[in-house]
Amino acid sequence: GLSGYFGTKSRYEEVNPHLVSDPLSLGPAAGGSLPSSCTPLQLRAVLRHGTRYPTAGQIRRLGELHARLLRRAAGAAACPAAAALADWPMWYEESLDGRLAPQGRRDMEQLARRMAARFPALFAARRRLALASSSKHRCLQSGAAFRRGLGPTLDFGGDEVEVEVNDSLMRFFDHCAKFVALVEENDAAMCQVNAFKEGPEMKKVLEKVASALCLPVEELNADLVQVAFLTCSYELAIKNVTSPWCSLFSEEDAKVLEYLNDLKQYWKRGYGYDINSRSSCILFQDIFQHLDKAVEESKSSKPISSPLIVQVGHAETLQPLLALMGYFKDDEPLLADNYARHAQRKFRSGRIVPYAANLVFVLYHCDHVNASQEEYQVQLLLNEKPLSFHHSNETTSTYTGLKDYYKDILENCHFKEECQLPKVNITAVDEL
């Protein structure tokens, strides 16, 4: 099927297929677990919102393409694919603009229930849950759904869904002037993405789609073909149906369109430019400040003030953070002209940040089993699967070992300085 190639529009089930038959299953047991003398002290989760509707811009494009097919279908010659799509009811309205879909609420409720089942001691009654979110509607709604998923038996301080808006941590990219000016608002920054849209792989896809739709190829462009592919992904994620839009694409085409989406993620949120990941150091440091605090409290036998911290953001919250930490980095950059060389790449956004993606830091306190064992240990889970630490290749690390590995970021990455616009007016991409 095509569903493995939907990039950031992938269902969470793509990375955890066992959830299809049982949404509450914890899946295969993760290796490398800690001894029973270790108890979790703090859990910090950074989530992407659940399944959402397309953004207004994409809905507008889809409307345009659909209208074109309607006009085409009114013409003389028979063209079955175009006729089928002209008949397809265009039900997306611009007002849906990236809002959380009902499936997105379920994504979050179920994720919360699995997390609680995985860490029963932390999610026990009367533990404090600090819940924060980006100001976007889909994230606030995701936060509320997550909390609802924890259910009435867990007492997190009454019924009111208190989700704190925290854009400085969840939308740090908006507040980073250097990122906004040099990447977000700089057309030249996306030159690899734009070059790929005009390149030979996309040209082939365009010609195939144009021929299936009996349209002159000049009437199509990469953005319209991409929206057709996106619609296939949205219909599956939101409505769980295989839409007629999917029939326009083969698996080969899907791989090309996945690469197009990954190129955007790479240059806007990943390794493409340093500022993409550096802008997230404010979030990275916040995570370690809270871990530090929990260690201090534990050392002085105080109750942990924030045992559970859950924050809901975007693909563009998680992806830069993972890049800052060095995950999913290929030897070669993703470029318009090295599609073929990247068939086995690590950077596949559908595997990293599907809907409801989650990165979880768990801090443990371990009673001394022997003198050499460190008291504080950490585990990292991405989409509920252990991530190996780069410094050890293991799935658990001593807290001091982890801090030592990221010492430079923790000490020398300052959001304000990193995000300051350079005094000279640079917009050339090679100077970024």
Ligand X SMILES: O=P(O)(O)O[C@@H]1[C@@H](OP(=O)(O)O)[C@H](OP(=O)(O)O)[C@H](O)[C@H](OP(=O)(O)O)[C@H]1OP(=O)(O)O
Smallest gap from Cβ 104 to ligand X, in A, equals: 10
**Which residue, 163, 118, 148, 415, is CA-closest to 313?**
163
User: Quick one: tokens of 17?
Assistant: 């297929």
Q: How far is the CB of 184 from ligand X (least distance, A)?
A: 9
- State the Cα–Cα distance between residues 101 and 106, nearest whole angstrom: 9
Kindly write down the DSSP assignment for every residue of 99-116, as one continuous string. Answer: PBPHHHHHHHHHHHHHHH
Considering only residues 21-40, where is the footprint of ligand X by CB under 6 A?
none
Q: Scanning residues 312 to 331, which ones bind ligand X (CB under 6 A)?
A: 314-316
- Whether residue 390 contacts residue 329, with contact meaning beta carbons closer than 8 Å, is answered with no
Q: Which residue in the list 49, 66, 290, 314 is annotated as catalytic?
A: 49
Question: In this complex, which beta carbon is closest to ligand X, that of residue 316 or of residue 384?
Answer: 316
CB-based burial label for 129 (10 Å; 0-12, 13-18, 19+)? buried
Q: Residue 313: helix, strand or coil by DSSP?
A: strand
Contacts with ligand X: how many residues (CB under 6 A)? 12
Shortest distance, CB of residue 403 to ligand X, whole angstroms?
29
Nearer to ligand X, 8 or 383 (CB): 8
Cβ at position 48, least distance to ligand X in Å: 5
Q: Considering only 20-28, 48-56, 361-369, 379-387, which stretch makes contact with ligand X by CB under 6 A?
A: 48-56
Contacts of 76 (CB under 8 A, 6+ apart): none
In the structure, how many helices (H) and strands (E) does the chain have?
17, 8
- What string marks each residue from 369 to 408 as x (binds ligand X by CB under 6 A) or -? ----------------------------------------
User: Which is closer to ligand X, CB of 229 or CB of 364?
Assistant: 229
Residues 6+ apart with CB under 8 A from 68: 215, 219
Is residue 194 involved in binding ligand X (CB under 6 A)?
Answer: no
φ and ψ at residue 120, rounded to 5 degrees: -60, -35
Q: Which two tokens mark 136? A: 């976007």
262 or 386: CB nearest ligand X: 262
Q: Is 310 in the site for ligand X (CB under 6 A)?
A: no
Stretch that binds ligand X, among 54-62, 155-163, 231-239, 369-377 (CB under 6 A): 54-62
Is 414 a known active-site residue?
Answer: no
Q: With binding defined as CB under 6 A, does residue 94 bind ligand X?
A: no
Regarding 133 and contact with ligand X (CB under 6 A), the answer is: no
CA nearest to 401, candidates 416, 415, 391: 391
Of 136 and 197, the one with the shorter C-beta distance to ligand X is 136
Interacting stretch for ligand X, rule CB under 6 A, among 52-60, 239-247, 252-260, 416-424?
Answer: 52-60
Q: Given candidates 48, 66, 197, 290, which one binds ligand X under the rule CB under 6 A? A: 48
Least distance to ligand X from the beta carbon of 191, Å?
A: 17
C-alpha to C-alpha distance for 270 and 212, rounded to whole angstroms: 35
- Nearest-approach distance from CB 136 to ligand X, in angstroms: 6
Q: From the CB of 57, what's the least distance to ligand X, in Å?
A: 5
Please give the angle made by the CA atoms of 326, 266 and 43, to the nearest 5 degrees: 45
What three-state secondary structure class fits 397?
A: strand
Of the two residues 315 and 352, which places its CB atom closer to ligand X in the complex?
315
CB of 324 closer than 8 Å to CB of 290: no
Helix 251-268, helix 315-324: angle, nearest 10: 70
Residue 57 found at the interface with ligand X (CB under 6 A): yes
Q: Give 184's DSSP letter.
A: I
Q: How far apart are CA 138 and CA 158, in angstroms?
A: 23
55 is a contact residue toward ligand X (CB under 6 A)? yes
Pick between residue 139 and residue 366 the one whose CB is nearest to ligand X: 139
Q: Does position 136 bind ligand X by CB under 6 A?
A: yes
Over its C-alpha atoms, the chain yields an Rg (Å, rounded) of 23
Contact 263, 334 (CB under 8 A): yes
For ligand X, give the closer residue by CB, 259 or 399: 259
The CA distances from residue 292 to 234, 295, 335, in Å, are: 41, 5, 39
Residue 226 within binding range of ligand X, rule CB under 6 A: no
Instruction: Decide: is 8 part of the binding site for ligand X (CB under 6 A).
Output: yes
Give the shortest CB-415-to-ligand X separation in angstroms.
Answer: 19
Q: Could you list the residues that contact ligand X (CB under 6 A)?
A: 8-9, 48, 52, 55, 57-58, 98, 136, 314-316
Q: Which residues are catalytic?
A: 49
